[in-house]
Amino acid sequence: MKASVFVYPWDVDGDPEAPARIAGLGVAQVTLASAYHSTRALTPRHPRHRIVTAEYAAVLYPPGERWAGRGLRPYRAGRWAPGDAYGEAAEALAAAGLQVHTWVVLAHNSRLGAEHPDTSVLNAYGDRYPWAPCIAQPATRAYLVDLAAEAAVRPGAHGTELESLGWYGLAHLHAHDKISGVGLGEAGQYLMSLCFCPSCRAGYGEQGLDADALATDVRDALEPLWRGAAADEGWPTVIRLLGDQTAARTRAWREETAGTLQEEAVAAVRAAAPAGFQVLLHADPVPYHCGANAGVDPARVLAAADGVVVPCTGGTALLAPFAERAGRRTVLAANLTVVSGMGGSPGTLAADAARARSRGATELRFYHAGLASDGDLAAVREALSAPWASATAGSSSARP
């Protein structure tokens, strides 16, 4: 099973020992951020710093001429990733014998929402989510598709992983977050993530829904949750609250909007990339889910992309719907957190990898080589040197 670790350019740039240290873990690949959202990140081994604050979502390389004169365009990184930070790190990692793939965050951008508020998701109460670009808006879609192509196909890259390529909703790791006082559950999260911008209102109309009436229905459905009603049972609760037909029509609009965006972005990456370039999406097999692991239709996304990266830190159940639709050459990468302080379990990596493989995983992803402690990395290194790893390290990820 081919394994890759996630890395930021600032983990590598300015640290001459970083490439060899990462290669020494026993992985063949790195997934290196080329476009990333705002964050505050630990760098526990870097000789120059310990904390990196990426103040806003940015590309970590000089953006190209395609953006000249456009209202929506990517922002260049500031002092946390100056110049061609991605390119410098990629070159150093490749020199250490590692295959480099890009890591591209798309529909998650707080600065875009702050400077262009009309691009953001607008909930049923009229509140905007500046971190969440509405993927139904034509200008936003064009921006995301072009960003995917440019940030994915960087010099020397062998493939890409596209994150947040779908709807982003209420859930968000926002600074000093204070929204967990009421347990919304899955149904409440869905209702609070429905967008009512002009593009989405028109989309609901195409589905035979009156947007004003829908917004009222959503607010009415949420009212018991604000008063402390018990947690829900997921989609059946949405059906109970909105009615079967209304609930289905909201999903139809949102899922078609996300599905066509995913197909357009993958096609744009393929058009810009050399032959053999691998395109994967960070994905959740429940199509109405929002977030970094975008909700997808497994059959539809696997018909467009080479595969998916699936969150498996809490278990491997999400692999099964993709495995049922996978072809012989489909990549199903199980993403496992190996940072103990972020809920990971590097000590159980061998067992977790075995479970993922039994559920259909063909590759592994480890989050995150730059954030992990020395002890966490030692556990990864030990796990990847075990017989189970060496027996499969050279095997193809393709199915028989």
Phi, psi of 362 (to 5 degrees): -110, -20
Kindly report, residue by residue over 163-220, the tens digit of the pLDDT: 999 999 998 866 667 667 677 889 999 999 999 999 999 999 999 999 999 999 999 9
pLDDT recorded at residue 391:
47
What is the pLDDT confidence band of residue 389, given thresholds at 50, 70 and 90? low
Contact 259, 288 (CB under 8 A): no
pLDDT recorded at residue 390:
55
365 bridge partner residues:
4, 335
Kindly report, residue by residue over 291-313, the tens digit of the pLDDT: 999 999 999 999 999 999 999 99
Give the C-alpha separation, 184 to 180, whole Å.
8
CB atoms within 10 A of CB 326: 20
Kindly report, residue by residue over 34-65, the tens digit of the pLDDT: 999 999 999 999 999 999 999 999 999 999 99
Q: Is the four-CA dihedral 56, 57, 60, 63 of positive or negative sign?
A: negative
CATH class of 2-178+258-392: alpha beta
Average model confidence (pLDDT) across the chain: 94
In this predicted structure, which of 28-32, 168-172, 268-272, 340-344 has the lowest mean pLDDT? Answer: 168-172
Rounded to a whole number of angstroms, the distance between the first and last alpha carbons of the chain is 14
The fraction of the chain above a pLDDT of 70, given in percent, is 94
Per-domain boundaries in the chain:
2-178+258-392
Return the HEC string of 12-58. Answer: HCCCCCHHHHHHCCCCCEEEEEEEECCEEEECCCCCCCCEEEECCCE
Q: Which residues contact 217 (CB under 8 A, 6 or more apart)?
A: 241, 242, 246
Mean pLDDT over residues 309-325, rounded?
Answer: 97
Would you say residue 97 has pLDDT above 70? yes
Give the C-alpha separation, 313 to 338, whole Å.
9
Concatenated DSSP letters for 97-162? Answer: TPEEEEEEE-S--HHHHHHSGGGEEE-TTS-EEEEEE-TTSHHHHHHHHHHHHHHHS-TT--EEEE
Contact 54, 33 (CB under 8 A): no
Would you say residue 314 has pLDDT above 80? yes
CA distances from 39 to 55, 152, 260, 303 (A): 7, 20, 29, 33
Apex CA 374: angle with CA 372 and CA 377, to 5°? 65
Kindly report, residue by residue over 114-124, the tens digit of the pLDDT: 999 999 999 99
pLDDT recorded at residue 400:
43
pLDDT recorded at residue 399:
52
For 63, half-sphere exposure in the C-beta direction (CA atoms, 13 angstrom radius) is 19
pLDDT recorded at residue 398:
47
Mean pLDDT over residues 153-166, rounded?
Answer: 98
pLDDT recorded at residue 228:
84
Would you say residue 237 has pLDDT above 80? yes
What is the pLDDT confidence band of residue 394, given thresholds at 50, 70 and 90? very low
